[in-house]
Structure 1
Amino acid sequence: MTKGLAPNDTTSAAPDGEGHRFATLTFERGVAAPLPVLWQAWTAPAARAVWAAPSPTVAIEFLEADTRVGGREISLCKVKGQPDIRCEIGWLVLQPDRCSVNHEVISADGVIQSVALVTAHFSGTTERSRVVVTVQLSSLATDMKAGYREGFGAGLDNLAGVAERTMLLQRVIKAPRPVVWGAWMNPDTLPQWWGPDGFSCRTQRIDLRAGGEWVFDMIGPDGTVFPNHHLYTDVQPEERIGYTLLWGENGPKHADAWVSFEDQDGSTKVTLGMVFAAAAEFQTAKGFGAVELGLQTLGKLERFITSR
């Protein structure tokens, strides 16, 4: 992927009378993924953690993530040998599949470097999508235009790559959110319904907390054993779960995943997203019917809940 200013990224700038530097930067990316997938990749904390770092030399540590209107996201940008850069985002507008607006404050060593208003507009179809991001930037310490061009340009390149290897499954379950959450985050009930039709689970150990894990085998209808290892990184009660999928205990990473739970007229909208480790794995999974199998899993969850 290209880094920095892409051909369809533009900028304009003007200093004010006090030496502050103002700029408006516009970025545009076309993405080979459905519009709802791009929106989830943009907003879901687990997905943002995958694409946020502009380069492999940069590590992003998320301290807080609440993607709701009025919520905030705080992260540290870490480069070896340099002071950490603190980024605080406040979400102002979230219109699913359409638009987001957030403010952003960048600081280093306790000194504010810049503030910005970031507006993202989304459009697309079930096949392709597009995001146009406008950044209204005020540089307070040094001129931050070049850094923003490079950071946002690289980040949006990463976003496109993540969206193009993200699988999204959604189902509205006719049960209140606390009931759905309880069936998912109970170590006694999760293994009873997890997996596609005809599959069962054999648990070795399970600890459904942030920092916990679930080591288990999925057993297919023909007796084939599929070793699994889930590492839980984020657990926000009745709101979301973030976890990493490994191929067997301490095996190679398969995907970064998240589940979100939303109230919907007395029912619960469950969204399960998975960012596969590589595009080839995503294509392989689609080829063997992972979408259909995943939807079967959510169907089993609903049947489990309604039968109790």
Structure 2
Amino acid sequence: MTSNLQRGSTTPEGSDGGRSRFATLTFERDVAAPLSVLWQAWTAPAARAVWAAPTPSVTVEFLEADTRVGGREVSLCKVEGRPDIRCECGWLELQPAMRSVNYEVVSSGGVPQSAALVTADFSGSDERSRLVVTVQLSSLAKDMQAGYRQGFGAGLDNLQGAAERTMVLQRVIRAPRSVVWGAWMNPEALPQWWGPDGFSCRTKRIDLRSGGEWVFDMIGPDGTVYPNHHRYGEVRPEVGFGYALLWGENGPKHADAWASFEDQDGATKVTLGMVFSTAAEFREAKGFGAVELGLQTLGKLERFVTSR
């Protein structure tokens, strides 16, 4: 994390017996990551799951995650010994790398605690980026200002750290989305093209459904064997999926990853993202050429689908 910038200002807009019901909160972060990467860290469900919990004592369980205009995200915040907190987020506007707007309703025991309109504005370059989040908060059952200041502040600190160890690869593939999706999520096709140039895959078992896994070895051009284990989360057909990357079967996790697929003038824009478990693993991956090798993998995917 390059800065510990935690500016959270509050402007009360009304009061009731000394308790403000309405407030506007502003949070700002400067992030040592490209603007495109910060946007993915903010919007991709797999990335949001990495940074959503404000503290280690809080567990966040995602019940729904659909980051599209009109889509919603539903999660439960769990703390041992306390009732679960339900958060529903609905996406109202998504302008890639520029702005997002969503509503957010927080409830406990079926009773709404607050409602908010959250606007996130993005700016920056290929090296650094800036995020300004404005929360227009209405406290319902009780005063939620202090909780929002603490929760949003800690969450955005986590986001900042996650974005700075996130790698995003993109390629526009000259094939319809259904064809690209089919090549990726077909257990017979995936091992044929996965991996950088000169690499091959040897599968132990493969199940590409939600909750499934792929246990395999990647074999380098010199014969070196690299054990891999992918564990799949939610799979949304022709939209995307999230998965965990493990060092070998049931080994330690080294990244939370996702792939998304978008139509683009008859072609398909593929985004492959990875939030590495530590900053050291991110630096090591960049150092051995993970960006170039990942782009080679997407190039092999394009050759696979266009040669058929």
TM-score range, shorter chain: over 0.9
Please say if residues 34 and 126 of structure 1, whose CA atoms lie closer than 8 Å, have aligned partners that are also in contact.
yes
Please say if residues 166 and 273 of structure 1, whose CA atoms lie closer than 8 Å, have aligned partners that are also in contact.
yes
Please say if residues 51 and 155 of structure 1, whose CA atoms lie closer than 8 Å, have aligned partners that are also in contact.
yes
Q: Which residue of 1 aligns with 2:169?
A: 169
Q: Which residue of 2 aligns with 1:61?
A: 61
Letter paired with 2:33:
A
Q: Which residue of 2 aligns with 1:155?
A: 155
Q: Which residue of 1 aligns with 2:195?
A: 195
Deviation at 1:15, TM superposition (A): 2.8
Deviation at 1:11, TM superposition (A): 0.7
Please say if residues 228 and 246 of structure 1, whose CA atoms lie closer than 8 Å, have aligned partners that are also in contact.
yes
Q: 1:142-190, CA deviations, whole angstroms, 9 ceiling, x for partnerless residues? A: 1000000000000000000000000000000000000000000000000
Deviation at 1:254, TM superposition (A): 1.0
Q: Which residue of 1 aligns with 2:32?
A: 32
Q: Which residue of 2 aligns with 1:298?
A: 298
Please say if residues 38 and 163 of structure 1, whose CA atoms lie closer than 8 Å, have aligned partners that are also in contact.
yes
Runs of 4+ that moved beyond 4 A: 16-20
Aligned 1:256-295 pairs, distance under 5 A? 256-295=256-295
The question of 1:141 aligning with 2:155 is answered no
Letter paired with 2:60:
I
User: TM-score if structure 2 supplies the norm length?
Assistant: 0.97
Aligned 1:1-308 pairs, distance under 5 A? 8-16=7-15, 21-308=21-308
Please say if residues 35 and 122 of structure 1, whose CA atoms lie closer than 8 Å, have aligned partners that are also in contact.
yes
Please say if residues 239 and 260 of structure 1, whose CA atoms lie closer than 8 Å, have aligned partners that are also in contact.
yes
Deviation at 1:221, TM superposition (A): 0.1
For residues 90 and 7 of structure 1, do their structure 2 counterparts lie closer, same or farther at Cα, with a shift above 3 Å needed? Answer: closer
Deviation at 1:20, TM superposition (A): 6.5
For residues 6 and 223 of structure 1, do their structure 2 counterparts lie closer, same or farther at Cα, with a shift above 3 Å needed? Answer: closer
Supply the distance in 1 between the matched residues of 2:15 and 2:5 (Cα, whole angstroms): 27
Letter paired with 1:15:
G
Indicate the RMSD between aligned Cα atoms, in angstroms.
1.5
Residue identity over aligned pairs, in percent, reads 78
Please say if residues 13 and 24 of structure 2, whose CA atoms lie closer than 8 Å, have aligned partners that are also in contact.
no
Supply the distance in 2 between the matched residues of 1:119 and 1:167 (Cα, whole angstroms): 25
Supply the distance in 1 between the matched residues of 2:6 and 2:77 (Cα, whole angstroms): 26
Letter paired with 1:188:
E
Please say if residues 235 and 241 of structure 2, whose CA atoms lie closer than 8 Å, have aligned partners that are also in contact.
yes
Please say if residues 20 and 140 of structure 1, whose CA atoms lie closer than 8 Å, have aligned partners that are also in contact.
no
SS in structure 1 of the partner of residue 127 of structure 2: coil
SS in structure 2 of the partner of residue 175 of structure 1: coil
Name structure 2 gaps, 5 residues minimum.
Answer: none
Please say if residues 6 and 153 of structure 1, whose CA atoms lie closer than 8 Å, have aligned partners that are also in contact.
no
Name structure 1 gaps, 5 residues minimum.
Answer: none
Q: 1:281-303, CA deviations, whole angstroms, 9 ceiling, x for partnerless residues? A: 00000000000000000000000
Supply the distance in 1 between the matched residues of 2:245 and 2:5 (Cα, whole angstroms): 33
SS in structure 1 of the partner of residue 7 of structure 2: coil
Q: 1:12-55, CA deviations, whole angstroms, 9 ceiling, x for partnerless residues? A: 11335697700000000000000000000000000000000000
Supply the distance in 1 between the matched residues of 2:86 and 2:150 (Cα, whole angstroms): 17
Supply the distance in 2 between the matched residues of 1:128 and 1:277 (Cα, whole angstroms): 21
Letter paired with 2:48:
R
Letter paired with 2:34:
P
Letter paired with 1:250:
N
Supply the distance in 2 between the matched residues of 1:254 and 1:20 (Cα, whole angstroms): 44
Please say if residues 176 and 267 of structure 1, whose CA atoms lie closer than 8 Å, have aligned partners that are also in contact.
yes
Supply the distance in 1 between the matched residues of 2:217 and 2:143 (Cα, whole angstroms): 54
Letter paired with 1:57:
S
SS in structure 2 of the partner of residue 15 of structure 1: coil
User: TM-score if structure 1 supplies the norm length?
Assistant: 0.97
Q: 1:42-89, CA deviations, whole angstroms, 9 ceiling, x for partnerless residues? A: 000000000000000000000001100010000000000000000000
Please say if residues 12 and 20 of structure 2, whose CA atoms lie closer than 8 Å, have aligned partners that are also in contact.
no
